[in-house]
Structure 1
């Protein structure tokens, strides 16, 4: 199995990873800056939430269609173009005196470029990293993302407090511009994945991508396992604050409840992509998916905060099964469909997680205790995972 250090022997990966780190850092600062910018102008929590939701709503509704561009166009050009477009749009959001409605429209427009960028990056990685190095590289990308979530919001708050939301947004725009420059310098030109002479329209090609996935039983069950497990295992995030209050705590305890699964996910991703041998790792994918849900079931017993945090770390570690499974999924998909396949996978993941959040919040609002909701999420999720057919298959070349 490749080490993290060995990954950086691949020139293209060094530049792609550098751009990824820049974008992650900028996005975490921008997430705080957007909330501050909108709330300062309006004193409205609802409008702040609307602006904040711009980071994921475009992926829900436009992912499968917009990700088609990662197959229609050369992926290097998609990466550079999306980065430059986001740099310009985010910079415009920071213009002083810009009407708030226009700022929110620009935010949503900027995030429309995220699905094709993510799809193009995921599709090009198997061409940059061969064999097991790709599994390890995919793991490092996810570890980096988790670290940015664990530390980024704290650092983002400090940065926004120090330089203000406007300069923070400009800094985010600069990270996208720098990422584009790194990709332009370090990533090789490749032709578009779709064969020459392909004349079908965007929507037709998007439908072809969905049909391709549905026609492959293993791809279908792979997505079902990921969507179902994460829909249940991530649901407790939506009720972290009321759960903390029910335990006699407040914002600090809520922060711990949110951080615990991320810590577990981080540790699990390292174990599955860097420590365990490939055969052992593949055998553990389904048990890990089960752990991501069943670890929540003891919450029904009303454990203390330290025990609950331990359970959430275990659940997060189980949920990390999606990291190596994502890499297997991408390699199994034919190269000309990889962008569209990732668009479908990402959109479905966002929808299932969003539904899990809504159901958990609604259940607490209806009168169930947070402990009961988390425990039931674990039990129902475990039953759903066990009912989902899934088997190992040889990865297509």
Structure 2
């Protein structure tokens, strides 16, 4: 779902290596900036949930503090992502980092009421959609050919590792001083802004004034391509359904750990292992499934793994210890790791190049919205029922929902037709400048699409 924009350098022949990717100075700067921002983000999420829970003793408000970082996608994620195409990518990323730095400093001020904390977190995360869209668009300009594929894989894996490090550090530091954790997050944004400003070239916007239409019209086209095409719609529904349940242990971790009585772990350690377990499982799943299974087997397992993701959380009904909760969350992350990369690859192949930036906004917004809604709803339910009952019951409902989504998956001929149509669109779409248009002969487009599908 990354915007595909080639730069002036020819694509390298043959498979790229990690050394090829990190040989690009601009990529090194972008990689370091992303890693720092991600670590800071997850550190802040852990700290904010602790801060609000300490102030209010409310599970619902603690969950709301966690979910506040997702809600901006609801009110304008796709539009904000589209705005990034109209401006210089380096400028967009630097501005967003500086805005988030300033707002996180305000959150860390002593005596800040919970409602103000929620409002500031919400405002800070309004900068996420344009920042992520700009990064998505500039990465292909830095990495040509197969280096882009390897670079995106590195970025994705680093994001999961950053989540683990951020949650562990956040829970540990927040147990002593949530404000200190938030100030560290602000510092990561400052360093990120400096790395981008001085490490990336200043490129012109991808969309000139002559090619612009109404911003809402451009955004609406992104929604129509995702939900109007059967295969893209099926992928979106499956991914959104799985995401609706995998986030819940993280969102309720602070309150879940605090409600555990006795045991060998204190609250901070219990929260840390619960919040970090899902991304750890994701990293292990991505490595093992990617290395041990062939393309055809991974595609065949995509839907069963989507059902498995909520199913492994159902034993939460039996009120397990934090260590067992962490194992369940890790198993959920493992299953999601077998679903998301395959679904993402299929999505990209079925999507015309000219819509990738807008489709990124739609998919990213949908994922953020369903995850934020899941944490809000389960947090509210936990005010009236025990957390194990909420998580277990929510997961039972998840099994039924994802099973329904998996059973309505398009037939193979529908998948082939979608890949073929995308290949034709990418070879002839007049909205793509001639210099950036891939050359795919019409008679070869269908065969190429079938070959790609066969190795998914």
Fold shared per TM-score above 0.5: yes
Classify the secondary structure of the residue corresponding to 1:229.
helix
Following superposition, the deviation at residue 293 of structure 1 comes to: 1.7
Aligned match of 2:449: none
Do residues 343 (structure 1) and 356 (structure 2) align?
Answer: no
Do residues 182 (structure 1) and 195 (structure 2) align?
Answer: yes
1:29-44 superposed matches below 5 A: 29-38=43-52, 42-43=55-56
Q: 1:316 aligns with which of 333, 354, 368?
A: 333
Q: Distance in 1 between matches of 2:107 and 2:251?
A: 28
Kindly provide the CA deviation profile for residues 82-137 of structure 1, in whole angstroms up to 9, marking residues without a partner as x: 11221222233334566665554333211110111112222333333344433333
Inter-CA distance 285–317: structure 2 relative to 1 (3 Å threshold): farther
Q: Distance in 2 between matches of 1:387 and 1:173?
A: 45
Matched positions, count: 392
Do residues 223 (structure 1) and 236 (structure 2) align?
Answer: yes
Aligned match of 1:388: 409
Kindly provide the CA deviation profile for residues 204-259 of structure 1, in whole angstroms up to 9, marking residues without a partner as x: 32223223334444333332231123335555666778799999979677865654
After TM superposition, the structure 1 stretch with the greater mean CA deviation from structure 2, 322-331 or 180-189, is 322-331
Structure 2 unaligned blocks of 5 or more: 1-14, 427-437, 439-456
Aligned match of 2:398: 377
Following superposition, the deviation at residue 383 of structure 1 comes to: 3.7
* Contact 2:246 2:329 survives alignment (8 Å): no
1:348-359 superposed matches below 5 A: 348-354=366-372, 356=374
Following superposition, the deviation at residue 348 of structure 1 comes to: 1.2
Kindly provide the CA deviation profile for residues 37-76 of structure 1, in whole angstroms up to 9, marking residues without a partner as x: 5556x44535554444321111232212211112222322
Q: Distance in 1 between matches of 2:110 and 2:314?
A: 50
Q: 2:71 aligns with which of 57, 76, 93?
A: 57
Do residues 210 (structure 1) and 231 (structure 2) align?
Answer: no
TM-score w.r.t. length of structure 1: 0.79
Inter-CA distance 258–30: structure 2 relative to 1 (3 Å threshold): closer
Q: Distance in 1 between matches of 2:272 and 2:40?
A: 21
Following superposition, the deviation at residue 8 of structure 1 comes to: 1.1
Structure with larger Rg: 2
Do residues 25 (structure 1) and 39 (structure 2) align?
Answer: yes
Inter-CA distance 357–384: structure 2 relative to 1 (3 Å threshold): farther
TM-score w.r.t. length of structure 2: 0.70
Kindly provide the CA deviation profile for residues 290-326 of structure 1, in whole angstroms up to 9, marking residues without a partner as x: 2132365477788988998766544422312313543
Following superposition, the deviation at residue 22 of structure 1 comes to: 0.9
Classify the secondary structure of the residue corresponding to 2:207.
coil
Inter-CA distance 359–165: structure 2 relative to 1 (3 Å threshold): closer
Q: Distance in 2 between matches of 1:300 and 1:100?
A: 32
Inter-CA distance 387–359: structure 2 relative to 1 (3 Å threshold): farther
Q: Distance in 1 between matches of 2:50 and 2:329?
A: 30
Inter-CA distance 92–299: structure 2 relative to 1 (3 Å threshold): closer
Quote the RMSD (CA, aligned, Å). 4.1
Following superposition, the deviation at residue 173 of structure 1 comes to: 1.8
Inter-CA distance 238–93: structure 2 relative to 1 (3 Å threshold): closer
Q: Distance in 2 between matches of 1:157 and 1:90?
A: 17
Structure 1 unaligned blocks of 5 or more: none
* Contact 2:48 2:66 survives alignment (8 Å): yes
Q: Distance in 2 between matches of 1:35 and 1:86?
A: 18
Following superposition, the deviation at residue 342 of structure 1 comes to: 1.4
Do residues 264 (structure 1) and 278 (structure 2) align?
Answer: no
Classify the secondary structure of the residue corresponding to 2:365.
helix
Q: 1:108 aligns with which of 119, 122, 129?
A: 122
* Contact 2:63 2:375 survives alignment (8 Å): no
Do residues 82 (structure 1) and 99 (structure 2) align?
Answer: no
Q: 2:137 aligns with which of 123, 126, 130?
A: 123
Q: Distance in 2 between matches of 1:234 and 1:18?
A: 26
